[in-house]
Structure 1
Amino acid sequence: MHDTSGCRAAGAERRGARRRLSSLGVLLLSSPLILGTGAALVASAPAAQAQSYRFTSIKVEGNQHIESGTIVSILHLQRGKALSAADLNDAYQRLAQKHLFESIVLTPRGNTLVVKVTEYPTIDKIAFEGNERYKDKELSKLIKSTAHRVYSPAQAEADAATIAKFYYARGRYAAIVTPKIIKRPDNAVDLVFEIREGKTTEVQRISIIGNQHFTNRRLRQVLATKQAGLLHQFIQSDTYLHERIAEDRQKLTEFYQRRGFIDFEILDVASEFERNRSGFFLTFTVHEGLPYTFGKITMASDVPGLSAKPYEKALRIRAGSTYSPLVMKDNIRRIENILAEQGVTFVTVDPVITRDRANQKLNIVFTLKKSPRVFVQRIDIQGNTTTLDRVIRRQFHTAEGDPFNPRKIQAAADRLRKLGYFSDVEVSTKPGSGPDEVIVDVNVKEKPTGSLTFGLSYGVSSGVGAVVNFAESNFLGRGQAVNFQINTGVNNASSVVSFVEPYLLGRDVQFGFNAFYSRQNYYNTYFDSSSYGVQPSLTFPVSNNGKLTLNYRFASDSMSNVDSGAAVPSAVLQSEVGSRTTSSLGYEYSFDSRRTGLDPNDGIMMSFGQDFAGAGGANRYIKTSAKLAGQTRIFDDEVTLRATLKGGLLSMLSGQSSRAVDRYNNNGEIRGFRPWGIGPRDLNATNQDALGGNKFAVLRLEADFPLGLPAEYGISGGVFWDMGSVWGLNSSELALMTASSQDTAKFHLRSAIGLSIFWKTPIGPLRFNFSHAIKKESYDRVQNFDLTISSQF
């Protein structure tokens, strides 16, 4: 438990003093209430307690803003009825509990009860002082005290506590909020909340006790909370947030369970302040247990007339592989989907697990069982003020009237969380109007989904540039994505507008639309180019891991300023000067094993696509591209191995010649060489112009690993080995070149090795590449250092 008593010491002392004064006031003021005004009666308290009163009238004195009738109704005393001292005390308490009066005195005078009150002053203005991080408007929404209403010390204290909690939730546990009043004429006051915001309370150290299979450094990488490190003034994840502990618990548990530690549990999470209260020490005490693997996997059926044998082939579990609950869920989901497609309802898959402790294996029998005949009566959605109901409802593959399946409801909740629209998603069920019906309650808490970014970019090849980007992932609450980006550089400029509708006409079909413009003076080339166009597309799933995209592209590309001022310009590039339009239809099939969600860090991805230009426009070609990539982790997941194989082929039709703006140019594909640094080249021209090629192929092998530095620094290392080539020109281009230049258009293998430094910074993930070309041609342009934004497949 974290200790915040010091943060509230000043407030607690004031409240304690106020409670002591309040208690004293009750005793003093209740004396005339119960005993009357005679001081001599104090000595005979028992007799006074037995005395009864009977009032025919109630007189209110001292009130200015609150009506006498209101006060009398709160007392709730019946005229002419015998009343005990206890009855009068209860009436006093009812009036005091309204927090409307600074003092209250009840005095019996014969048949009249005199109620003398002193009203609290009226609040004239409410102000905040000392708040720099958050504006007055934001803080005013938190409090219940209101201008031109009666001032209540209790409410002011409660408001101060609410503001303090607001700061605590943002990692400022040293914040102190003090309510003060400034007296004004006519029994009015100004209420001022004095705020000492304090510094962000950081996590100085994260310790893990009880771990034997994984190092502290590896486990810290799993946690959302990070230790304060080199960039602690910028990195918000090192701020201590109590709410983040629940997320850390879940992440740590999932990490172990995916690796077969089925008995893993977190015994305790302790957080304590540093002595000077500038940071927290966070300690996780865990019990790992032993890792288990899958043993014998079988299927059985408890449903009469339903055989389990046809469904065994749907199981995708290999005996001896590491046990993971995600693998279990995926196989259960696959079988239940097949049952639903076959019209088999109210049958679920229940895994029966038997432990083989001696061999640390889990033998599993997936059993088909009859489930209760329960239907979904309705799905109630709450908490969404911007997001439309249909955006949430379409994540449920269950409609009103369908058989109730708890796993499908849980899967829908997971899909809602992955949307990124909500900071919290709670999905629960409750009984419906009938015994065979349930109601699904969906409660969401929305979060901002739009961003406006201004920034600078830098690349060794492109130089310094400026970036303006507006992005909204939940446009108008419809679940649509809108993006507008402008990039400008020394010689380059580009802009892109994109729109994505993930569920076109309510179907699982994604519609995309891109409009683009670019102007470039390529580094290491001697011509200018510009391009603009549009590209609509449709994407739909064809399997659990496969998607098919159909697209149309219209673009206009132009080349100009070839070899400006050169004594001998490139004849090839000069023949390509001018504009040419392209109208193409294309498709791309992609397969990504990570889409099942079993492990987002391991898996394979492949894609294959073609564009057919000639449906209008001037260009006539078929452009084919393919990619195969795989990634895995070893050595307790601390080392990542990655391999990527890519290739492309541009085949011109109708005797046309390709142009440099359409050809491949090794723009970052083979590290160690500049963009346009390899491939066909016009050696006879003064500038020995790079021409690009109709074909390219590259194999990239790389490994990422820790450097032994504290994880909170966000610095890691890597090695890579790239090999491949860019080659091929049409006969018309070759005819314009000398023999030595024609040789550059042939296949020549290039390769380079290098070291990488990865640094996660507030401005984005940076990658520093230090390369050395180990196989190259004499005319190639190498690049031994490169600074880029790191990206993965």
Structure 2
Amino acid sequence: MIHTKLMRGAFLALAMLGVASIAGPGIPLVGVATVQAQEQLVGSVLFEGNRRFSDAQLLDMVNVSSSGIFSQQRLASDIESIRQAYDREGYLSVGVTSRVESIADGRVRVVFVVNEGNRAGIAAINFTGNNAISSGNIKGALLTKETGILSWLFKDDGYDEQKLAVDRERVRLYYANRGYPDAQVTSVGEYDAARNAYFINFTINEGQKYEFADVGIETSIAGLNTDALRGAVKTGEGRRYSVSDLQSTIEDMSYEATTQGYSFADVRARLDRDVANGTFKVTYLVDEGPRVYVERVNITGNTKTRDFVIRRELEFAEGDPFNRALVVRGRSNIDDLGFFSAVNVTTAAGSAPDKVVINVAVVEKSTGEYGATAGYSTVDGILGEISLTERNFLGRGQYVRAAIGASQAGRTFDFSFTEPRFMGLKVSAGLDAYHRITEETTSSFYGSQATGGQLRLGIPLTSDLSSTVFAGGEYKVIADNKDNPAHQSSLVVDGQEFTKAFIGYSLTWNGVDDLKKPTTGLYATFTQQYIGWDHNLLKSEARARYFVPVIEDSGIVASLKGQAGVINDMSGNGVHAVEAFNPGTQLIRGFEGRGLGPRLQSGEYLGATMYAGVSAELNFPLPAVPESYGLSGAIWADAAWVDGLPRIGTGTATLSNVDPGSQDVPWRTSIGASLIWDSPFGPLRGDFAHVLNKSTSDRTQVFQLSLQTLL
């Protein structure tokens, strides 16, 4: 096999001698007709056989442009440019030749003929020397992916030397954030012409593992409260060494010093290595930095996004003290907006020694999404949705979404709008409106039409704690089937109307390391709302889930989830069934929606005014399954308690009309296993359940398909 780089050099040398032809591995050279006149003008440039790149994209790659001077050297260089572009996309067997045709007025037409061949993929990514961290976890940190069932969609399995260099650094940082500051990473890619695919081999020298030892703070700034800075320390004694924890601590300390009024505070970390014990003693040095001010902030690349959307993420403006930690934090804030594919922040000298210019260069990406999705849920049956979403509405950073959904259980119409910086403050404001039509089914004895909406304000309280205040209302009309007396509801009557107004708040604690794939930390919510008008209720719900890695860097994560809810009747008339809880698959798996809890002797589901549940789960990567497939497994155990009878008509349900078989056990329990797929449409999971304990009238199911949620 001929090495690709050697072939490029050989082809370019041949081209300079007048043979303009480039081919991939195993493709023979094809001669190109030469033009006798050396000063002919190029009348037009055409392309044939190109599918991966459009004519416009290829035209940007070549220099033999219309009205230009034709030369064999320029032609050969253009052929090489096209071939390299295909090479970066994994088309190693591409063949690029040219045809030069004479046209009127002594001009020539240049035609580039592209034979794309088959795109080369990544057959396997292998690792040697990784004794502490599994290959599957390291693969998750790579930009390069093995060829899988969805590679045709994501095009992430192409071989690219530049991307491979980035991957080596990503692996090194992956180790440096997990206790191995001295890890060294090399890689080599081998092309297999028979399979038209690459085998990539990473060699890792892990080095010694280190932990953090004593942590100290020293400052030369009089009046600085160092005790307040300790809350920013993420490098506690006994924790494994992590570069990101060091950097995060430095940034947060500098920010905290700024909030105390010391805008020029400069924070550095001094590390004292103890090789014998495998530890680093860390001393954070907080000193007065140079008094430099921001002269100007230049923003480029934002053709759609307004300047103020970017500027408000920087937390400083022209004339403010220059603080490098605030610059780093600002860059991260801009990147977190999700509006840009690249964010680059640099500094330049200002008009005076004590002034600096901040340059923010961004590359915008599409923020509008529309689509039609279809699927199947074991709760709602066949379902579908058409939606239109814009995450950067009119370039103002606002979020707008409109959606129409349908299933066997009914239809939904939803609209949502969010302003992330209400009145210029770090407070989000939003509006939600909906119209929902619920059909009468075998599990629900009545249907309804509900129209409602709410206003909300989101307020950050700390770096981990946030609050949302909301208020709204709903108008609901009941639709009961008069043609089937045996299936008419005892809870409501046809045409009955319910109007409610509500006001409430929620608290969210986000202490997990990654919202999409958490491995450690606590995520919890508490919501409370008062419901009035036709009701007089106080509704409270709490949910929490704690994650912990079972074996460090193995991908095996354990979690414990707890949840509870209660509705307090403030009037003494009871909780009407239309406002009762309907706990089901979200509370305990192995039961149908509306499958457990109080039920009338007719079979109609009542709902409950109280519930509690606990769930233990162990998630793990599937052995021998490529990481690029996005598949993982889980085993779990659930337990749930449901109680509290709602109101029937104008009275409260009693034991005389409630099916005793729906209340004959206080606790339900189940165990099972799950298959989880990190699909392009969101994390899907299939749960296989075995019920251990249930009431006689409970309705169970062995399998359910649903979207995975954090809580």
Normalising by structure 1, we get a TM-score of: 0.80
1:781 partnered with 2:699: yes
Kindly indicate whether residue 397 of structure 2 is the aligned counterpart of residue 479 of structure 1.
Answer: yes
Call closer, same or farther: CA 1:466–1:13 in 2, change over 3 Å.
farther
Matched, 1:214 2:133: yes
Q: Does 1:715 align with 2:642?
A: no
1:251-400 correspondence runs (5 A): 251-266=170-185, 268-276=186-194, 278-303=196-221, 308=226, 311-312=229-230, 315=233, 317-400=235-318
- Give, in whole Å, the separation in 1 of the partners of 2:253 and 2:196: 53
1:773: Cα distance to partner? 0.9
- Residue aligning to 1:540: 459
CA drift at 1:234 = 4.3
Structure 1 unaligned blocks of 5 or more: 21-100, 104-116
Within-5 A mapping of 1:264-663: 264-266=183-185, 268-276=186-194, 278-303=196-221, 308=226, 311-312=229-230, 315=233, 317-521=235-439, 524-562=443-481, 565-567=484-486, 569-571=488-490, 573-575=491-493, 578-594=496-512, 601-614=519-532, 617-637=533-553, 638-663=555-580
Equivalent in the alignment of 2:24: none
Shift of 1:657: 4.8
Cα distance in 1 for residues equivalent to 2:442 and 2:613: 21
Match of residue 696 from structure 1: 611
Q: Structure 1 791/180 Cα, relative in aligned 2: closer, same or farther at 3 Å?
A: farther
Return the alpha-carbon distance in structure 2 between the equivalents of residues 250 and 477 of structure 1. Answer: 34
Aligned residues between the structures: 692
Cα distance in 1 for partners of 2:612, 2:223 equals 56
5+ residue gaps, structure 2, are 21-33
CA contact (8 A) 1:299 1:308 kept: yes
CA distance in 1 between counterparts of 2:536 and 2:580 reads 13
TM-fit CA distance, 1:757: 1.2
State the partner residue of 2:645.
729
Counterparts in 2 of 1:320 and 1:192: CA distance versus 1, 3 Å? same
CA RMSD for the aligned pairs? 3.2
TM-score by length of 2: 0.89
Residues 430, 699 of structure 1: alpha-carbon distance in 2 compared, 3 angstrom cutoff? same
Contact 2:591/2:700 (8 A) holds in 1: yes
Amino acid at match of 1:248: D
Counterpart amino acid of 2:614? Answer: L
Distance 1:331 1:544 in 2: 13
Seen in structure 2, the aligned counterparts of structure 1 residues 312 and 720 have a Cα distance that, compared at 3 Å, is closer
Q: CA-to-partner distance for each residue in 1:290-340, whole Å, 9 max, x for gaps?
A: 221121112222346757566556645532122223333343334333322
- Corresponding residue for residue 45 of structure 1: none
Deviation at 1:782, TM superposition (A): 0.2
Distance verdict in 2 for CA 1:574–1:534, change over 3 Å: closer
Question: What letter matches 2:443 in structure 1?
Answer: N
Letter in 2 for 1:513: L
- Are 2:93 and 1:178 aligned? no
Higher helix share: 1
2-structure distance, mates of 1:427, 1:782: 56
Does the 8 Å contact 1:557/1:661 carry over to 2?
Answer: no
> How far 1:681 moved relative to its partner?
0.5
Structure 1 residues 476 and 565: alpha-carbon distance in aligned structure 2, compared to 1, 3 A threshold: same
Residue of 671, 684, 687 corresponding to 1:753: 671
In structure 1, give the amino acid aligned to 2:95: I
1:535 Cα offset (Å)? 1.9
Partner of 1:190: 109
- For 2:597, the aligned partner's letter is G
Q: Which of the numbers 227, 233, 246 marks the counterpart of 2:146?
A: 227
- Does residue 120 (structure 1) correspond to residue 40 (structure 2)? The answer is yes
**How many angstroms does 1:281 deviate by?**
1.9
Q: Is the 8 Å Cα contact of residues 445 and 487 (structure 2) preserved in structure 1?
A: no
Query: Structure 1 residues 307-316 or 559-568, which shifts more?
Result: 307-316
The CA deviation at 1:272 is 2.9
State percent identity of aligned pairs. Answer: 28
SS at match of 1:336: helix
Q: What is the rounded CA distance, in whole Å, between the counterparts of 1:476 and 1:719 in structure 2?
A: 46
Q: 1:679 offset after TM fit, Å?
A: 1.0
Does residue 674 of structure 1 match 2:592?
yes
Distance 1:177 1:253 in 2: 38
Give the stretch that moved more between structures: 620-629 or 650-659. 650-659
- Contact kept? 1:546, 1:591, Cα under 8 Å: yes
Note the alpha carbon deviations across 1:16-60, whole angstroms, 9 max, x for none.
Answer: 34279xxxxxxxxxxxxxxxxxxxxxxxxxxxxxxxxxxxxxxxx
Deviates more, 1:478-487 or 1:327-336: 327-336
Shift of 1:719: 0.7
| TM-superposed deviation, 1:732 | 5.2
Task: Report the counterpart of residue 706 of structure 1 in structure 2.
Answer: 621
C-alpha contact (below 8 Å) 1:539/1:548 kept by paired residues: yes
1:238 partner SS? coil
C-alpha distance in structure 2 between counterparts of 1:420 and 1:350, whole Å: 30
